[in-house]
A and B are shown apart, each in its own frame.
Chain A
Amino acid sequence: MSANTESNPEMLAGVFQQEEAPEGRLKVSFGPQHPGSGHMRIILTVNGDIVEDAVPDVGYVHRGVEKMCEYKNYIQNIPHIERPAIHDSSGTIFPYILAVERLLDMTEKVPERAQYIRVIMAELNRMINHFYFFGILGIFMGHTTPITWGMGDRDYLIDVAASATGARVTFSYFVPGGVRTDLPYGFEDKLLKTCDYLESRIPAYKAYLEENPFARMRLTGVGVIKRSDAVALGLAGPTLRGSGVKSDVRKDEPYSLYDTLEFNIPTREEGDAMARMMVHFEEVKESLSIVRQAAKKLRPGPVKVPLRGQIRGKVGEAYARTEGARGMNSYYIISDGQIHPYRVRVNTGDSRNLAAMRPVLIGGKVADVPVAHWSLDYWPVASDR
């Protein structure tokens, strides 16, 4: 064997290779090809059926969004930034747009209609994400029906959103100054009909995921995060609220006219997978009510402040945060007056929920790994960026 083909042990010394499993234990690589791991790997040390150690090995889908943002102008960044979080493309782009508007000193100038349209789109995206969540949670429990329902019902929401935006998943709909297009004719009617339909679907999901004794056995007591731990780990979104912490950027720091709408922040005390799933349920209901209220408040008017030519941010920095479907998304942009940002820092709720992965999996059963992993609301692509 020539020197070239011999493997270099130093290069291969990842987490997996570094240590042998202790006596009587087995090291299992859960992913990245495992359909349940997403685009990541969890290195499990198992003792029989019990997980003794779990090391998340992330970074498989890192694409350098932050660095790419430095080479593209403010508009060209939009399609790139929303690609990583396909189930929540509006929620991902929202804080970026708010931050750019702060750099352009035009936060107050955004028309009211555009702000309500943004609220509607963000809430539609939240529901799209949550129905996907139910579907995948079901299939991870070995329960095939929820995934067919989740994907099917999610598609009606996509239909509504796509009729306004012109794309099914990556909407590229929010731009600095408003939204790109006005709503098409008949949009509100379609929106309200879809909301009514989804409202009537909730009991079926409840029967399958909450009342179904087998689902309850699989979800209750799995992946418990105590309230104090959730705060200490810095978790976000439904995972944090599932542990009893009432925290939501929409209420804490209202943006885009969320303060004119009435809604609750559902929380649960238990902190297990069941609690997190119930928070998702309640959030779908709240989102339906927000969408209805926002649709009522839509008044005819402009949807965008036209921006001519290249956008140049003022010299300085801007920070904005919003509540995405999987937690708080925040953007921090530094501008040096060029047509492209000097630095963009992205923080998504997903990457913060990763902190809970290890404590949650340790001590559990191997069969509970997919459920606990998915219930944390961690989406590798958005987290790696």
Chain B
Amino acid sequence: MKTSEFLKGLAVSVWTGTVHLFRHRMTSMYPETQNYPNTEMYAYDPKKGVAVSGWRGRHYLDMSKCTGCQLCFIACENIAEAIEMIPVPEAAHAQNKKSIYPGVDYGRCVFCGFCVDACPFYALYMTPVAEISEMNRNDLYYSPVELSVPPVPNPAPKVHVNFDKKRGSHDER
């Protein structure tokens, strides 16, 4: 490499790095703000056979629609074995004769969403809440009753990325 070439390359790269000092920060300030690419619920329409795009996070179970048909359990059986059918005798819903509902173990679930695709009765959804962490492993297990409560979203303001031609990207509320 010639000396002139060396110096030119050095100048170009040092200059590029220096310019970056004045650009916007790339990172989001999580958890003060949060950036979910998609804030809809992931749902499946068994009539059309196509899902509605949404974030695949924690499940939501509509107990008034679930018939206990176990199709979600069968779908998950060979994927992660995360779903277990639990008898919930106190839930009196006529359409569920056996009173069994799916419970999900989030220590195993891989959030693939194929259980939602398997449900023929519009009973299972996935919500845009994925912040599931517990101090105790057993708490990762969600019973049907817990799943039927809509999750509390993180109260931090939602932001999205805005691109600026000159100064890079930044979060915008």
Contacts and interface: CB of A to CB of B under 8 A. Distances in A.
A73 interface: yes
A163 B53 CA distance: 8
Contact of B114 (A166, A172, A203, A303): A172
Interface in A247-263: none
Given A71-B78, A162-B38, A166-B42, A182 B110 contact: no
B137 interface: no
A278 B51 CA distance: 39
Contacts of A76: 75, 78-79, 114
Interface string A142-181: 0001001100110110111011111110101000000011
Contact of A181 (B20, B53, B78): B53
Nearest to A162: B37
A149 B110 CA distance: 28
Contacts of A183: 53
Nearest to A168: B37
Interface string B68-90: 00000001001110000000000
Nearest to A155: B26
Interface SS of chain A: helix
Contact of B113 (A168, A172, A208): A172
A167 B51 CA distance: 14
A184 B49 contact: no
A336 interface: no
Nearest to B111: A167
Contact of B1 (A158, A162, A217): A217
B5 A213 contact: yes
A90 to B, nearest CB: 14
Contacts of B8: 211
B91 interface: no
B151 to A, nearest CB: 15
A170 B110 contact: yes
A265 interface: no
B94 to A, nearest CB: 27
Interface string B12-32: 110111001000001100000
A211 B13 CA distance: 7
B6 A72 contact: no
Interface stretch (A24-32, A53-61, A194-202, A223-231): A194-202
B35 interface: yes
A367 interface: no
B52 interface: yes
B79 A163 contact: no
Contacts of A302: 50
Interface of B: 1, 5-6, 8-10, 12-13, 15-17, 20, 26-27, 35, 37-38, 40, 42, 48-56, 75, 78-80, 110-114, 117, 126, 161, 163, 165, 168-169
Interface of A: 71-73, 75-76, 78-80, 83, 145, 148-149, 152-153, 155-156, 158-160, 162-168, 170, 172, 180-184, 193-194, 196-197, 200, 203-204, 207-208, 211-213, 216-217, 302-304, 306-308
Given A76-B75, A79-B112, A145-B17, 8 more contacts: A79-B79, A83-B110, A159-B37, A164-B38, A172-B114, A211-B8, A213-B1, A306-B48
In order of increasing CB-CB distance, the 4 nearest A-B pairs are A306-B49, A152-B26, A181-B53, A212-B13
